[in-house]
Amino acid sequence: MAKKLMKGCEAIAEAAIRAGCKFFFGYPITPQNDIPEHMAARLPQIGGCFLQAESEVAAINMVYGAAGAGARVMTSSSSCGISLKMEGITFIAGAELPCVIVNMMRGGPGLGSIQASQGDYFQATKGGGHGDYHMIVLAPASVQEASDIMQRAFDLADIYRTPVMLLADGIIGQMMEPVEFHEQESKRELPEKLWATTGWTPDSCRKRAVVNSLYITNEELDTLNQRLQSRYREIQKNEVTVEEYNTENAEFILCAYGTIARICKSAITLLAGEGVKAGLIRPITLWPFPSDTVKKAAEQESVKALLTVEISSGQMLEDVRLAVNGRKETAFLGRPGSYLPSAEEIAQTVLRMRRMHS
């Protein structure tokens, strides 16, 4: 199939449709409006339903309803809009329902700005809503990857009965790159949705399906949480994905995701020109976090220090530090408030670290 030049947002929406998404409920917000725009045009063509809800809260609860009925459903928003959806997301996690949520991050806190940011890492990977739950969090770094990852997002949601979040900075959404839609036949074996509320009659041979997130007795809630935790362990065991670039025998290891990971690659080229071997670890799943990869890379004798780079004040940094566990220096470069560190700035930081270590 021929390549198309598309914005990240458009590619995500188109890929979702090709992955079998039939329902989209959302509320507009910059910089992700191209997703609902594309969905509004395309979903009616394939017999699906696009609905602009009256608010983010309404939209996520529509997602809750459609997911409960067993549909492939998604919503998208940006930062402050995602905060509004958080109650719904924890209810969906509590009811063990699959859905996909796209967060095209903008600056925060509060209404913040509309420029790209990575300030929602904590919110996405450590909860966001209340209770002991996790979402699978996927972080693409190009328009092609954002498109390829959608099939996986929906499959993971179905397999593990969990909300899956695609977490990207606004640049991924607004940037145009060539994209090729591969014929997406799901390679994963998907469980039958016996829990879905598709209509029960007395002669149905299955149990009556009830979707709920209230487990009022201690025993019931404990059973749910044990089940969730064992599922999360399965996810951590099976679903970690990460790109390692140039890390073997590197002196310095950069850790970054999304757009910043690409700027880091430019910095690595600049550093090579200065005779410094630097590598990059780019988590593609932010939760589960690729702790083992970071740990192994950091343990190499050649490695002097790690530098985490983010468009935030240092959020993923904490997961890097947990993985490295004091074995090596773990420095940070980042700026909140939508400013992006440049490749030159990253390279300069590494050169400064190198002088400290020599």
Partner 1 sequence: MLEQNIFAGFGGQGVLLMGQLLAYAGMLEDKHVSWLPSYGPEMRGGTANCSVVISDRPVASPIVTKASSVVVMNRPSLDKFESFVQPGGTIFINSSIIDKKAERDDISAFYVECNKIAEELGNPKVANMVMLGAFIQKTGCVDFENVLKAILNKLGEQKANLIPLNREALKRGAACISQS
Q: Is 219 exposed, middle or buried, given 0-12, 13-18 or 19+ CB atoms closer than 10 A?
A: exposed
Per-residue x/- mask for partner 1, residues 164 to 203, rule CB under 8 A? ------xx--xxxxx-------------------------
- Part in contact with partner 1 (CB under 8 A); list of ranges 15-23, 126-134, 192-200, 257-265: 257-265
Binder among 85, 193, 262, 354 for partner 1 (CB under 8 A): 262
- DSSP labels for 76-108? EE-THHHHHHHHHHHHHHHTT--EEEEEEEB--
Per-residue x/- mask for partner 1, residues 78 to 117, rule CB under 8 A? ------------------------------------xx--
- CA dist list (Å): 280 to 72, 92, 126, 212, 254: 35, 35, 23, 43, 5
Q: Is 269 in the site for partner 1 (CB under 8 A)?
A: yes
Binder among 102, 139, 150, 263 for partner 1 (CB under 8 A): 263
Q: Is 5 in the site for partner 1 (CB under 8 A)?
A: yes
Query: Which residue, chain included where needed, has tokens 């949705």?
Result: 193
Per-residue x/- mask for partner 1, residues 295 to 334, rule CB under 8 A? ----------------------------------------
The closest alpha carbon to 56, from 94, 9, 103, 14, belongs to: 103
Q: How far is the CB of 273 from partner 1 (least distance, A)?
A: 13
Q: Strand, coil or helix: what is 309?
A: strand
- In angstroms and rounded to an integer, the radius of gyration of the C-alpha atoms of the chain is 21
Q: Is 3 exposed, middle or buried, given 0-12, 13-18 or 19+ CB atoms closer than 10 A?
A: exposed
Contact residues for partner 1 (CB under 8 A)?
3, 5, 30-31, 114-115, 170-171, 174-178, 259, 262-263, 265-266, 269, 340, 342-344
